[in-house]
Amino acid sequence: MNSDVIDFASLAPAYPEMLLAIGAVVLLMIGVVVNKERSVLVSYGAVLLLIVTAALVILQPKDGVLFNGVFIADGFARYMKALVLGGSALSLLLALPRAEENGTHKYEYAVLVVLATLGMMMMVSANDLMSLYVGLELQSLSLYVLAAIKREDSKATEAGLKYFVLGALSSGMLLYGSSLVYGFTGHTNLSEILVAIAQEGRSIGLIFGVVFLLAGVAFKISAVPFHMWTPDVYEGAPTPVTAFFATAPKVAAMALMVRLVTDTFKGISHDWQQIVIFLSIASMVLAAFAAIGQKSIKRLIAYSSIGHVGFALVGLSSGTQGGVEGVAIYMAIYVTMTVALFACILSLRTSAGYVETIEDLAGAAQHRPFVAAIMAIVMFSLIGMPPLAGFFAKWHVFLAAIHAHLYVLAVIGVLASAISAFYYLRVIKVMYFDAPVREFEAVPAELNIIMAVTGFVVVTYYFTVAGPLAGLAQSAAGSLF
Amino acid sequence: MTLPLFFFYVFSAIAVASALMVISARNPIHAVLFLILVFFNAAGLFMLAGAEFLALMLIVVYVGAVMVLFLFVVMMLDVDFASLRQGFLQYAPIGVIVGAVLLLELLMLAGSFVVSPEVTASAVLPMDGVDNMRAIGQVLYTRYVFLFLGAAAVLLVAMIGAIVLTLQHKSNVKRQDPVKQVGRRPSETLEIVKVKSGQGL
């Protein structure tokens, strides 16, 4: 009954998590004690905390398996943690302007985001079915509260309740799958499950367990057919909260899925590949068609994010190192594009409130040329137009699929991408060619900076970040194989 | 038949029967009471397995706290469960299909499930003279400390969430301020008026 934690220095791989946990409690105390301007103070404190933690993750790399095998820190976990922390910090910044109107002016908002991020880091570093579940619950529970944080708004409350009920169902499926995997392999530790599968081979009970486990995780990344909650929750939750939902939690759940299938269930790759290929095709195709009829811009983004999860899964279905590398690059670019997109949407505000429908965007190019230009660039990037970042993201995952001889999957992916161009282009058309209906208000400075930086990265991706990012993704994927 | 085996069957039979009653009882209060009965029998099963700490925790935490709270909620909310059940027949065919699929799956699983001989051999409780509570304590704060702290964070989130979503700071509600009440003087609030009879004010 001994612990492997002998002294403080032996905890080094888990320093980022510890810092974040202690930081969250300190921020909570600051929020309780300070009376004036506390939400702004706590928000900036949380952004600082997330940046310091990200610096600790990147600059003080320490690999190792800790806490008797339930926690793992490796290159892959570091890469994904840096992405999660970056996504959370950026979406906290997005929530700063006009916080009162969005319901994010409560200081608990930032604390909950930090705690959700802690849960995501636990998910990314999980090396045991138990730590996987605890991390997932910590993340999900925080997200349920965040969805309903604007509690006087009936739509936000409905979104929170819907998310909670369906999330509880998916947790149930995940737990059922975990219990079957445990029952048929005799272990909860992912490394020991890997060994057990290699020794005993596949059994029908194990396959059942894997199916349920993957169904639970697919819910969290909102892959079809577990996507039903996404449009409603994205539409109902306040826009900055939606921005958070669409970035960091997706990365964490995707990282969890990658680790489970490529590492733990390596021995039954033929079985999980079928599941992942199905999820991928269904997500890409359904999102491409369902988004066409959408009027609300947030529902459009929800379907777009379902589609992008499908594209990322194309890389994963190859099951190769190149595929995982593609997924890693895809998630990084996806987070950048999503943050840019939400910064644009939060910038476009008329006297009647935030833009809700696509028609509301009419004439944005004349009143707010900079915002419209960035939004158009992001839309082109989401389609996958060549010099922009989105093209390279898709290029990497489709290349991995071709290398793994998954030609049909790649062809369907490219077709779905072409269909999805329609609804992205429609947004650009409305912004640039429709007559303006309303006046747009001035853009807050924070959003201008975020739009400028993310827009710059998206445009100049190939010349600036492509090289270093590919190197990082390669070493991240290499630690799993 | 040994005595523990007899009690095992008694406890598990009552547990299964009352679990059935939980989902079929018309009155929600009865359902909650049957759920309490299920917990009591499960506690009995834990006791037979030698896990007396878990058995008592189950009664103290679930029956003592969770179910009583549940009972209060059911009694106070006055949910019309009859109307909730109206769509029951409408969805019954889908339910039957899902149930049949699950049953088939369970049968397939049961067919492939074998208890390895090692497990049967090690089924004797490895207590080594350490009592239950001590055994849990030994692993909870050492081997599973990461999960323990993670669970603590989950509870913290639950607490923050409950407060964020329900606590109201209304400014236009009149509240009692005891200091103000006690500090009132008669001269500030009372006015003594002499009223002549027959004239009114």
Q: What is the pLDDT of residue A424?
A: 93
* Long-range contacts of B101-107, Cβ-Cβ distance < 8 Å, separation of 24 or more: B105/A208
B171 part of a folded domain = no
Which residues of A fall within a CB distance of 8 Å from B113? 183-184, 205
H or E, element range at A101: helix A99-102
Q: What is the pLDDT of residue B125?
A: 56
pLDDT band at A34; cut points 50, 70, 90 = confident
Q: Are residues B118 and B52 in the same domain?
A: yes
Question: Phi-psi region for residue A236, left (φ > 0), alpha (ψ -120 to 50) or beta?
Answer: alpha
**B24 at interface of A, judged by CB pairs closer than 8 A:** no
Quick one: tokens of B104? 């088939």
What is the arithmetic mean of pLDDT over A59-69?
A: 87
Q: Which domain holds residue B133?
A: 125-166
**B157 at interface of A, judged by CB pairs closer than 8 A:** yes
Q: For residue B57, which amino acid is it?
A: M
What is the arithmetic mean of pLDDT over A164-193?
A: 92
Collapsed DSSP state (helix, strand, coil) of residue A256:
helix
Chain B: residue whose CA lies nearest to A21: B153
Q: Are residues B162 and B144 in the same domain?
A: yes
B161 part of a folded domain = yes
**B113 at interface of A, judged by CB pairs closer than 8 A:** yes
| DSSP state at residue A349 | E
Q: Are residues B160 and B105 in the same domain?
A: no
Q: Which of A14, A118, A131 sits opposite B153 (nearest CB)?
A: A118
What is the CB neighbour count within 10 angstroms for residue A132? Answer: 25
B129 part of a folded domain = yes
User: For residue A173, how many C-alpha atoms fall within 13 Å in the half-sphere facing its CB?
Assistant: 19
Collapsed DSSP state (helix, strand, coil) of residue A347:
helix
**B122 at interface of A, judged by CB pairs closer than 8 A:** no
Question: Phi-psi region for residue A67, left (φ > 0), alpha (ψ -120 to 50) or beta?
Answer: left
Using CA atoms, how far residue A262 sits from A80, A180, A321, A406, B121, in Å, is 15, 19, 9, 17, 35
| pLDDT above 70: residue A182 | yes
The span from the CA of A49 to the CA of A44, in Å, is: 8
B176 part of a folded domain = no
Q: Are residues B51 and B66 in the same domain?
A: yes
Q: How far is B148 from chain A (nearest CA, A)?
A: 9
B192 part of a folded domain = no
CATH at B22 = 1.20.120.1200
The CA radius of gyration of chain B, in Å to the nearest whole number, is 29
H or E, element range at A164: helix A154-185
Q: What is the pLDDT of residue A99?
A: 81
Q: Looking at B69, B104, B124, which one is the last position of a domain?
A: B124
Higher local confidence (pLDDT), A4 or A277: A277
Q: For residue B73, which amino acid is it?
A: V
pLDDT band at A234; cut points 50, 70, 90 = very high
What is the CB neighbour count within 10 angstroms for residue A33? Answer: 8
Q: Are residues B109 and B68 in the same domain?
A: yes
CB spacing of A145 vs B145 below 8 angstroms: no
Give the torsion through C-alpha atoms of A304, A305, A310, A316, to 10 deg: 150
Q: Are residues B70 and B162 in the same domain?
A: no
Which residues of A fall within a CB distance of 8 Å from B143? 1-3, 67-68
Q: Which of A70, A106, A135 sits opposite B164 (nearest CB)?
A: A106
Q: What is the mean pLDDT of chain A?
A: 91
Structural domains of chain B, count: 2
Collapsed DSSP state (helix, strand, coil) of residue A157:
helix
Q: For residue A248, which amino acid is it?
A: A
Nearest of A115, A165, A109, A163 to residue A135 by alpha carbon = A115
Q: Which of B105, B138, B153 sits opposite A21 (nearest CB)?
A: B153
Q: How far is A110 from chain B (nearest CA, A)?
A: 12
Q: What is the ipTM, given to two decimal places?
A: 0.92
Q: What is the pLDDT of residue B117?
A: 65
What is the CB neighbour count within 10 angstroms for residue A127? Answer: 24
Nearest of A132, A166, A121 to residue A13 by alpha carbon = A121
Using CA atoms, how far residue B168 sits from A99, A145, B162, B164, B173, in Å, is 18, 16, 11, 9, 11
Q: Are residues B160 and B100 in the same domain?
A: no
The span from the CA of A61 to the CA of A205, in Å, is: 38
| DSSP state at residue A102 | H
Q: Are residues B116 and B132 in the same domain?
A: no
Residue A66 pairs in a beta bridge with A71
Q: Are residues B20 and B104 in the same domain?
A: yes
CB spacing of A21 vs B149 below 8 angstroms: yes
| DSSP state at residue A189 | B
Q: For residue B112, which amino acid is it?
A: S
CB spacing of B163 vs A3 below 8 angstroms: no
CB spacing of A131 vs B146 below 8 angstroms: yes
B105 part of a folded domain = yes
Using CA atoms, how far residue A7 sits from A3, A10, B148, in Å, is 11, 6, 19
**B142 at interface of A, judged by CB pairs closer than 8 A:** yes
Q: What is the pLDDT of residue A151?
A: 86
Residues in chain B: 201
**A21 at interface of B, judged by CB pairs closer than 8 A:** yes
| pLDDT above 70: residue A52 | yes
Q: How far is A68 from chain B (nearest CA, A)?
A: 6
Q: Which A positions 165-224 lie with beta carbon below 8 A of chain B?
A: 180, 183-184, 186, 203-205, 208
Q: Are residues B57 and B110 in the same domain?
A: yes
CB spacing of B165 vs A145 below 8 angstroms: yes
Low-confidence ranges of chain B (pLDDT < 70): 1, 79-88, 115-129, 201
Burial readout A330-351 (b: 16 or more C-beta within 10 A, e: otherwise): bbbbbbbbbbbbbbbbbbbbee
Q: Which of A17, A65, A138 to mutate to test the interface with B (most CBs of B within 10 A)?
A: A138
Q: What is the pLDDT of residue A205?
A: 85
Q: Are residues B149 and B61 in the same domain?
A: no
| DSSP state at residue A225 | T
B180 part of a folded domain = no
Which residues of A fall within a CB distance of 8 Å from B138? 1
Q: Which of B108, B138, B149 sits opposite A1 (nearest CB)?
A: B138
Which residues of B fall within a CB distance of 8 Å from A3? 142-143, 145
HEC per residue, chain B: CCHHHHHHHHHHHHHHHHHHHHHHCCCHHHHHHHHHHHHHHHHHHHHHCCCHHHHHHHHHHHHHHHHHHHHHHHHHHCCCHHHHCCCHHHHHHHHHHHHHHHHHHHHHHHHHCCCCHHHHHCCCCCCCCCCHHHHHHHHHCCCCHHHHHHHHHHHHHHHHHHHHHHCCCCCCCCCCCHHHHHCCCHHHHCCCCCCCCCCCC
HEC per residue, A404-425: CCCHHHHHHHHHHHHHHHHHHH
**B127 at interface of A, judged by CB pairs closer than 8 A:** no
What is the arithmetic mean of pLDDT over A47-61?
A: 93
For A379-409, how does the pLDDT look when each residue is reduced to its tens digit (9 = 90+)?
999 999 888 999 999 999 999 999 999 999 9
Q: How far is A62 from chain B (nearest CA, A)?
A: 18
| DSSP state at residue A222 | T
Tokens 């029956």: give the residue: B63
Q: How far is B193 from chain A (nearest CA, A)?
A: 47
Phi, psi (deg, nearest 5) at residue A73: -120, 115
Q: Which of B113, B147, B150 sits opposite A205 (nearest CB)?
A: B113
Q: What is the pLDDT of residue A96?
A: 87
Q: Which of A27, A115, A140 to mutate to test the interface with B (most CBs of B within 10 A)?
A: A115
Q: What angle do CA A202, A208, A212 make, to 5 degrees?
A: 130
| pLDDT above 60: residue A66 | yes
Higher local confidence (pLDDT), A259 or A200: A259
Which residues of A fall within a CB distance of 8 Å from B153? 21, 24, 115, 118-119, 138
Q: Which of B103, B147, B170 to mutate to test the interface with A (most CBs of A within 10 A)?
A: B147
Phi, psi (deg, nearest 5) at residue B42: -65, -40
What is the arithmetic mean of pLDDT over A328-352?
A: 91
Chain B: residue whose CA lies nearest to A66: B146
Quick one: tokens of B77? 């909310």
Q: Are residues B48 and B130 in the same domain?
A: no
The span from the CA of A148 to the CA of A146, in Å, is: 5
**A144 at interface of B, judged by CB pairs closer than 8 A:** yes
Q: What is the pLDDT of residue A144?
A: 95
Q: Which of B155, B160, B167, B170 to mutate to test the interface with A (most CBs of A within 10 A)?
A: B160
**A3 at interface of B, judged by CB pairs closer than 8 A:** yes
Using CA atoms, how far residue B72 sits from A198, B21, B35, B79, in Å, is 52, 20, 14, 12
For A257-272, how does the pLDDT look when each residue is reduced to its tens digit (9 = 90+)?
999 999 999 989 889 9
The span from the CA of A345 to the CA of A91, in Å, is: 13
B193 part of a folded domain = no
Q: For residue A8, which amino acid is it?
A: F
Are the C-beta atoms of residues A300 and A358 closer than 8 Å to each other? yes
